[in-house]
Structure formats: C-alpha cells, structure tokens
C-alpha cells in the first residue's frame, strides 16, 4: 500500500458508547504523515473513539487522492479503519443552518463552521483540531483540543 503509514487494528480500537470527541480532518490526516510523533499521537487519541462527519470523510478522501496520490482502494481501507472507531454524523439541514450561524458568530470558514456544527449537534464535548484555537469553547460546551500542544 502506497507510502503511507497504515493504521493499527489493535484491540484498543473500540467505538465509544458515549461520544466525547469529534475529529477534524486535519488531525486524521496525520495518520498518513511522515511525522511519526504526530502520527502516533493521532493514533493514540483516535483509539479512544469518537465521531466524525461525512464532511470529514469527504475532505480526507479528497486530500488523500489529490495531494497524497493514494488509490481509491487505499483511501477506502484507511477510512474503514477510522469508521471502525468513530460514529459518522450525517450532514443535514440542521447542521447546515447551525453552521451558518456559527460562521457569523465566530467568523469561522464555512467548512470549519460545518465541522463545529456537526460536533455540537452530536453532543460532543471536545473537538480535536489543529486548525481552530486551542481551548476555544463553542455552543453546548464544545471545546477545541489541539492534541499536539
């Protein structure tokens, strides 16, 4: 499989019953990184389980195919492992409407606002992201955690 680091399927990877964490695309992409420290940290925190949205799946696939040169089969394999430990939040009108409100209120990019909206509506307490401000708190008590600080 290409030049990326495969994800572990160790017994520590279990789907959570109560979802605490929501993962942003930028953190999950470190699973494919040559930066062993960040890849290991991502795998460690992902092993605790969490949630992602369909948007995260799409962004991950797009970057993996376009920028990393992975095949569709390789992308499917990596995302299947991620979906094995993460609940997948669908995109719907409620996410879209809240996302637009968050975009205005917090001056977020459209795509960051949709990530935050999906996490809030799914009831997550932590948004694991390297792109948003570490410690920032959104609606519902959702707080940003940069796992690399």
* Full-model pTM: 0.86
Would you kindly state where each structural domain of the chain is located, as residue ranges? Answer: 21-145
Residue 56 CB-density burial (10 A; 0-12 exposed, 13-18 middle, 19+ buried): buried
Radius of gyration of the chain from its Cα atoms, rounded to whole angstroms: 15
pLDDT at 13 over 90: no
To the question of domain 21-145 being in CATH 3.65.10.10, the answer is no
pLDDT tens digits along 82-140: 999 999 999 999 999 999 999 999 999 999 999 999 999 999 999 999 999 999 999 99
Share of the chain above pLDDT 70, in %: 88
Q: What is the 3-state secondary structure (H, E, C) of 96-131?
A: HHHHHHHHHHHCCCHHHHHHHHHHHHCCCCEEECCC
Distance CA 103, CA 116 (A): 9
Higher pLDDT, 10 or 19: 19
């Amino acid at each position: 499989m290409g030049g990326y680091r495969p994800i572990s399927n160790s017994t520590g990877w279990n789907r959570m019953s109560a979802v605490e964490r929501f993962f942003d695309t930028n953190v999950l992409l470190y699973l494919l990184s040559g930066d062993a420290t960040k890849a290991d940290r991502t795998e460690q925190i992902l092993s605790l389980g969490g949630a992602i949205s369909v948007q995260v799946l799409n962004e991950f696939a797009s970057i993996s195919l376009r920028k990393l040169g992975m095949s569709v089969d390789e992308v499917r394999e990596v995302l299947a492992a991620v979906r094995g430990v993460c609940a997948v939040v669908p995109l719907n009108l409620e996410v879209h409407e809240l996302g637009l409100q968050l975009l205005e209120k917090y001056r977020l990019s459209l795509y960051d606002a949709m990530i935050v909206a999906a996490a809030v509506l799914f009831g997550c307490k932590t948004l694991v992201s390297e792109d948003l401000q570490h410690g920032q708190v959104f609606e519902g008590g959702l707080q940003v955690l940069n796992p690399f600080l």
